Amino acid sequence: MPSFSGTPGLDPRLHSALHHLDLKVVRRLEGLLHGEHLGLRLGPGSEPAEARTYQPGEDDVRRMDWSVTARTTTPHVRDLVADRELETWTLLDLSASMDFGTGSQEKRDIAIGALAAVNILTQRVGDRFGAHFLHRGRIRRWPARSGTAALLSLLSTVAAAPRGAPGDTAPGAASLADALADFARTRSRRGLRVVVSDFLDTPPDPGAPPDWERPLRLLASRHQAIAIEVLDPRELDLPDIGLVTVQDPETGRVREVRLTARVREDYRRAALAQRGAVQAALRRCGVPHLVLRTDRDWVVDMARFVVEQRRTAHRLARHTPAVPR
């Protein structure tokens, strides 16, 4: 397990808090290398598949299924499901709205920590990890690699990424929907896909589904997907401090607003409606949803989420029909 105490922007508690956890992957995978996850096709592995009639000269007698052979009085062998390596790809939103935080950390710091935690929790023999970044309106890609050195290099590079000034995003820049569409199109091999964002993209029409819902649904239809939403408490409620100057981090637009009781209540209702729309869209996509906040211990929240995902995986495995022997 790697240590991140010397990596900028990362929480050194990750090593101890996540040491005994792992993030279960229940979707079957494609691949060429041997690993510790169930594959889609038959091949070298440890998971039994269906029994079939023995073919002399073609089948290995060591795979003979003696119980089926005894019941049918015809020689049968049992195929095995290939064990494959896992490729974990993370889409990390580093847009200007992520450079904000009124708690102990900024949203960007928590997002980078979540990237580290996901890769720590899924690393097994032969597994690889890669990343896509939405940064300054451009989509950047980090190739899939394995090993502690590659993970430290990835995290150091992301932590050192320059922060953009408000409004410096060029016209026609890529949005979260564009990044998700590119993510789904370019990473077709089955595996784990994680999206880390604040999901603050505004739909074109009030009440309309967000632009990113359709590409995320496409992504989740093929891969096991997880959405990690990063929030700051000031995005949900405003303090009673009178006249303030506010700035849109994406466009750079500045306005002076007097935070009266009515303005604060309208803001709170709009924020709750927006968060509710995000939750509804993620439910429609069938994607597990983890919320991390800058005013909470995000490592504890991540650990609780992983434990719940493991319980869900165990329930699914318990209710999956057994292969007849």
pLDDT per residue as tens digits for the range 28-60: 444 433 344 444 343 444 445 567 888 887 777
pLDDT value of position 180: 95
| Mean pLDDT, rounded, for 184-201 | 87
pLDDT per residue over 110-129, tens digit each?
Answer: 999 999 888 888 776 567 88
pTM here is 0.73
Residues of the chain with CATH 3.40.50.410: 14-19+86-319
Confidence (pLDDT) at 50? 65
Which segments of 106-175 does DSSP mark as H helices, in order? Answer: 107-122, 148-159
Please give the C-alpha separations between residue 146 and each of 63, 89, 127, 160, 281, in angstroms, as whole numbers: 33, 12, 6, 21, 33
Question: How big, in percent rounded to 5, are the helix, strand and coil portions of the chain?
Answer: 35, 25, 40
Task: Point out the least confidently predicted range of 104-118, 186-200, 303-317.
Answer: 303-317
C-alpha–C-alpha distance, residues 13 and 3, integer Å? 9
One CATH from 3.40.50.2300, 3.40.50.410, 3.40.50.300, 1.20.1250.10 for 14-19+86-319: 3.40.50.410
Name the residue among 86, 5, 2, 76 with its Cα closest to residue 39.
86
3-state secondary structure of 90: strand
Average pLDDT over residues 102-107: 84
Select from 200, 226, 38, 221 the least CA-distant residue to 107: 200
* DSSP assignment of 45-57: EEEEEEEEE--TT
Distance from chain centroid for Cα 30:
18
Name the E strands within 55-127: 76-84, 87-93
The predicted-structure confidence for 145-161, as pLDDT tens digits, reads as follows 888 888 888 888 888 88
Instruction: Give residue-wise pLDDT tens across range 63-92.
Output: 788 888 998 999 988 766 444 567 889 999
Average pLDDT, the chain: 78
Of 110, 90, 271, 94, the C-alpha closest to 173 is 94
Confidence at 206, pLDDT banded by 50, 70, 90: low
pLDDT for the residue numbered 241: 84
